[in-house]
Amino acid sequence: MEALPIGNGRLGGMVYGGTAAERFALDESTLWSGQPNPDQDKPFGRERLDSLRQLFFDGKIKEANDIAWNQLNGNQTSFGTHLPAGEVTFRFAGIDERHVTDYRRQLDLSTAMATTTFRHRGVTYERQAFASHPDEVIVYRFTASKRGKVSFTTAFQVANEMPCKTSTHSHQPSAITFSGQALFPMHGPGGVHFAGRIAVKADGGKVTTTDSTLTIAGANEALVIIDFRTDYKRPAFERQLDDELSAALARSFTTLHDRHVADYSLLYSRVTLSLRSSVGCDSVATKPTDERRLAALKGAPDPALDALFFQMGRYLTIASSREDSPLPIALQGFFNDNLACHMGWTNDYHLDINTQQNYWAANVANLAECNSPLFRWIADLVEPGSRTAQIVYGCKGWTAHTTANIWGYTAPSSCIAWGLHPTAGSWIASQLWTHYQYTQDSQFLRTVAYPLLKGNAEFLLDYMTIDPRTGTLVTGPSISPENAFGYGGSHYSASMMPTCDRVFAWEILNACLQSARILGIDADFRTHLEHALRLFPDFKIGRDGGLQEWADDYDQAYPNHRHTSHLMSFWPYAQITLQHDPRLAKAVRRTFDLRLAAEGWEDVEWSRANAIGVYARLADADEAYRSLKMLEGYLSRGNLLTVSPAGIAGAEDDIFAIDGNTAGAAGIAEMLLQTQNGYLQLLPALPAAWSEGSFSGLCIRGGAEVACEWKDGRIVRATLTATASGTFAIEVPRHGAYAATLGNDTLQQRDGIWQVTLQKGQTVTIQ
């Protein structure tokens, strides 16, 4: 939690910044144990499903849960987990830590470069590291202010005692190679095969090798190239390694650096954010980040830290999920701390909020391409998810449940308490529709999104049934992740149509309906969707004043529970909005207030990040900001990575989880602009700490980028630039006299809204 992360979307790791010894924790996104499991689905079928549902309809909750508990679970015997590769170590000759001065290390988010500098006995040493996307390697450069002072030995130590052998490289005289298999029996048999290369190119001095080490003595500077791959979908991966290594070694450091920065900055530079307070904070902003975080814990204002935290979320998204990445962002991206993989819940793809949150910021933060690996992975779920739908439920279409991996696991988890969540596939698939809303990419909608949405909609339409008690269309039995309710003196997990199912099923059916209308296809299917949506039950308010989590007003088994999946209806979706549904929005607030106030509230990185967005949608800037400070302070560490704290979900240690960073960035964006009501709202939840500031490049639904500058909490100037042709609505700022202009024309407002039709590239200015 002090190292600095670098990544190119596939390959990366953590730079520790040592002096006499340096460590680089090496990671690669496809390094998974486990293997496909043809027996993952336990047969249940439609006939038994109908009988089980009748027990629920008859009020026989205990009997129904007993059957579900014993028969509606999956077989996870070869599930696997993502694993860390190991550590590349550097041991430096002649450096005594007692004589090190002027030490500094930094991660420059604008260049994705980690740098360590220090002085030792009159010599200044500098080490630079980055993960190159265009060259597909890790680059480490070692320099000194005096010639002949770069001397070190480097080696690779595999993690978790995975079988691994090392040797000198047969074609590169200044390189070592290692290979093995990602075996990790804790989560079952199997694992990818892997191989890696470490090579050095020195200016001056001498390079010697053994089967496991490279030694550089007396060089003026040295360039170390690291690469690592697995055979996941790449049978010729070792040949690819050698080709990448040779190409990188043929380039100078300057060329490698310039290619890396040019490639990376195309994404990172799209968005700027500056946050300032009328109260001077300059003295805080000049301190090291870890000290600023500690000061923030004590209440010191530091809006620049808030902006840094937002950009850190964007940085980690780019580092973990490029357009051509082989896999989407897992629980830790691929910055594996070797803790999550030792937990029962593993470093996997949790589809009951964590993986979804990993991509909440992608579209609004102008990183739409970073969704691509997620969409390819969803497509990979269709074949196994179709078998799960048929074998478990007797239904067509495809589905997936809470826990997923790279091997096509789509069945319920081994325990229904967290695993019987058949709308988890719907939840993750909804990102396809979100992507279209932001990009307006009709080709993507036609060829990628709609086929996947339709397949899941077909499952839902076949799976859902009419509740004879109400005449509404319901799911079930399923759970509200990962919660339970009280009934008859006991706690149960399974019920018919928990509210979250209503949320996710409605989101998919509506997205599929809207997509088919836009594309002008599937008229009969559209009619079927319209009929189904009319039969959905309404949201309900419970006796505690909160939004009901289950169809019936059950007692809360765990009032302090971290999961509030039913509130996704409010954020990030807009099935309930403050403007259109004030009564339900009040119930949403009541639910969230009760959870946060409950004794022993399970305050974790992702639930606190979620709170930022909820309170931003409620237009409560103070509470949104308080949650942001909690996330930055108590739930982050010195390098701003977020943690799931010890004591939650069985963890004995703080465990890094990337979703607090990514969802936290999405929450900050939601404080700055919102479009869920069909029009753009600027600064809807601006806290007093951000009285001055500016942003540019944030994206909105409908296809546009927005920039805004404000002072004393009031807008000075704002622009909306269309990235796709369309009609846009903009709320007139409440304070002051503003005009909106398109070229030389002043727009007319109606009911406090400007509405304008723009061609791609046109800009509306507000001032």
Q: Helix axis angle, 424-439 relative to 450-463, nearest 10°?
A: 140
User: Quick one: pLDDT at residue 280?
Assistant: 63
692 domain residue, yes or no = yes
User: Quick one: pLDDT at residue 282?
Assistant: 61
**CATH (domain of 167):** 2.70.98.50
Q: Answer yes or no: do 145 and 124 share one domain.
A: yes
- Domain limit, last residue, from 268, 300, 333: 268
603 domain residue, yes or no = no
The model's pLDDT over 203-237, given as tens digits with 9 standing for 90+, comes to 999 999 999 999 999 999 999 999 999 999 999 99
Cα–Cα distance list, 147 to 151, 207, 219 (Å) = 11, 16, 7
**Tokens coding 101:** 């001065």
Q: For residues 628 and 610, what is the distance between their CA atoms, to the nearest angstrom? A: 10
744 domain residue, yes or no = yes
Q: Answer yes or no: do 60 and 140 share one domain.
A: no
Q: Answer yes or no: do 546 and 403 share one domain.
A: yes
- Domain limit, last residue, from 234, 268, 302: 268
Q: Answer yes or no: do 162 and 215 share one domain.
A: yes
Question: Which uninterrupted H or E stretch holds 611?
Answer: helix 605-617
User: Quick one: pLDDT at residue 141?
Assistant: 98
Given a cut of 90, whether residue 297 has pLDDT beyond it is no
**Tokens coding 597:** 């106030």
For 386, residues 6+ apart whose C-beta sits below 8 A from its C-beta are: 396, 397, 398, 455
- Cis peptide upstream of residue 477 (ω within 30 degrees of 0): yes
Q: Answer yes or no: do 397 and 500 share one domain.
A: yes
- Please give the single-letter amino acid code of residue 501: D
The pLDDT-based confidence of 278 (bands split at 50, 70, 90) is confident
Give me the residue label for tokens 């910044």. 17
The pLDDT-based confidence of 301 (bands split at 50, 70, 90) is confident
Q: For residues 517 and 509, what is the distance between their CA atoms, to the nearest angstrom? A: 12
pTM score over 0.85: yes
- Domain limit, last residue, from 226, 249, 268: 268
Question: Which uninterrupted H or E stretch holds 362?
Answer: helix 360-364
Q: For residues 25 and 157, what is the distance between their CA atoms, to the nearest angstrom? A: 10
517 domain residue, yes or no = yes
User: Quick one: pLDDT at residue 681?
Assistant: 98
Q: Answer yes or no: do 498 and 557 share one domain.
A: yes
Q: For residues 525 and 521, what is the distance between their CA atoms, to the nearest angstrom? A: 9
**In the Cβ-directed half-sphere of 164, how many Cα atoms lie within 13 Å?**
27
Beta-bridged to residue 216, according to DSSP, are: 152, 207
| Torsion over CA: 407, 413, 418, 422 (sign) | positive
The model's pLDDT over 35-58, given as tens digits with 9 standing for 90+, comes to 999 999 999 999 999 999 999 999
Given a cut of 80, whether residue 554 has pLDDT beyond it is yes
Number of domains in the chain: 3
Helix (DSSP H) and strand (DSSP E) numbers for the chain? 20, 37
User: Quick one: pLDDT at residue 283?
Assistant: 63
CB 725 within 8 A of CB 732: no
Q: Answer yes or no: do 226 and 253 share one domain.
A: yes
Dihedral pair phi/psi, residue 259, rounded to 5°: -65, -40
Mean pLDDT confidence for 652-660: 96
Q: Answer yes or no: do 63 and 115 share one domain.
A: no
Dihedral pair phi/psi, residue 26, rounded to 5°: -90, 135
Burial class (CB in 10 A: 0-12, 13-18, 19+), 640: buried
CB 53 within 8 A of CB 477: yes
388 domain residue, yes or no = yes
Mean pLDDT estimate for the chain: 97
- Please give the single-letter amino acid code of residue 420: L
The model's pLDDT over 499-532, given as tens digits with 9 standing for 90+, comes to 999 999 999 999 999 999 999 999 999 999 999 9
Domain span at 213: 4-32+83-268
The model's pLDDT over 599-629, given as tens digits with 9 standing for 90+, comes to 999 999 999 999 999 999 999 999 999 999 9
Q: Answer yes or no: do 94 and 46 share one domain.
A: no
Give me the residue label for tokens 């170390």. 224
Give me the residue label for tokens 């639904």. 701
| Torsion over CA: 42, 45, 51, 53 (sign) | positive
The model's pLDDT over 376-398, given as tens digits with 9 standing for 90+, comes to 999 999 999 999 999 999 999 99
Q: Answer yes or no: do 49 and 92 share one domain.
A: no
Dihedral pair phi/psi, residue 491, rounded to 5°: -110, 140
248 domain residue, yes or no = yes
Given a cut of 80, whether residue 484 has pLDDT beyond it is yes
293 domain residue, yes or no = no
**Tokens coding 337:** 């701390």
Q: For residues 597 and 560, what is the distance between their CA atoms, to the nearest angstrom? A: 8
Q: Answer yes or no: do 96 and 136 share one domain.
A: yes
Q: Answer yes or no: do 21 and 63 share one domain.
A: no
The pLDDT-based confidence of 62 (bands split at 50, 70, 90) is very high
Burial class (CB in 10 A: 0-12, 13-18, 19+), 748: exposed
- Please give the single-letter amino acid code of residue 193: H
The model's pLDDT over 324-367, given as tens digits with 9 standing for 90+, comes to 999 999 999 989 999 999 999 999 999 999 999 999 999 999 99
**Which residue in 565, 587, 562 sits closest to 576, CA to CA?**
587
667 domain residue, yes or no = no
